[in-house]
Amino acid sequence: DQQVKQNSPSLSVQEGRISILNCDYTNSMFDYFLWYKKYPAEGPTFLISISSIKDKNEDGRFTVFLNKSAKHLSLHIVPSQPGDSAVYFCAATSSGNTPLVFGKGTRLSVIA
């Protein structure tokens, strides 16, 4: 059973607009969440994270929102740029020796 779900396999957005990528989780023990970006033929690279004690974290154009009661997080990219076109993975972990659990990813295409 999937513990981290990204229900949208793909998303297309126009350059300059907002991109919103969604992620849901089922394990209530998860308390730390991360987003990774992956370009073709490269390894995933860390983008932004959020602890369960917060409901928002910003880093430049990237903001992650966490709704613990809904077990939902989202990544907002504003403004979207063509270089943001990639696959985005949501990941979660918890205290203790719990490895990162990844969602299936969402392919973002930013159209110029």
> Site residues for another protein, window 18-57 (CB under 8 A)?
31-32, 34, 36, 41-46, 49, 51
CB 50 within 8 A of CB 33: yes
Backbone angles phi, psi at 15, to 5 degrees: -55, 135
Q: Does 74 bind another protein (CB under 8 A)?
A: no
CA–CA separation, 46 vs 24, rounded Å?
19
Q: Does 99 bind another protein (CB under 8 A)?
A: yes
With CB under 8 A as the contact rule, the residue among 13, 19, 21, 89 that binds another protein is 89
> What is the signed CA dihedral for 75, 67, 100, 61, rounded to 10 degrees?
20
Shortest distance in whole angstroms from residue 111 CB to another protein: 23
Sites of contact with another protein (CB under 8 A) = 6, 9, 31-32, 34, 36, 41-46, 49, 51, 89, 91, 93, 95-105
